[in-house]
Amino acid sequence: MAKDKKKEEEKVIVAEFKVSMHCNACERSVAKAISKFKGVEKFTTDMNKHQVTITGMLNEGSQSNISNKRTQPNI
């Protein structure tokens, strides 16, 4: 049972997030934060669409960390 759960978590997925990015500095800080997460194989940022697309072996916990903690701007 434990092997099945681990195998299920290791699938490569593509996740898209809406991220508030207003300038190139915002885009760089988001990219820097995302690059530090384990399991991220590649990512793209689109400042005009306020969107980040991440490809990698991510489980649900790391997805929520990315969307909630690292990608919100400091105001």
Give the tens place of pLDDT for each residue, 51-67: 999 999 876 666 666 66
Predicted TM-score (pTM) of the model is 0.66
CB 27 within 8 A of CB 59: no
Fold observed for domain 2-70? Alpha-Beta Plaits (3.30.70)
pLDDT for residue 57 = 86
Q: What is the pLDDT of residues 18-53, one digit of tens each?
A: 988 889 998 999 899 888 888 889 999 999 999 999
pLDDT for residue 51 = 93
pLDDT for residue 15 = 87
Segments making up each domain of the chain, as ranges: 2-70
pLDDT at 1 over 60: no
CB 21 within 8 A of CB 32: no
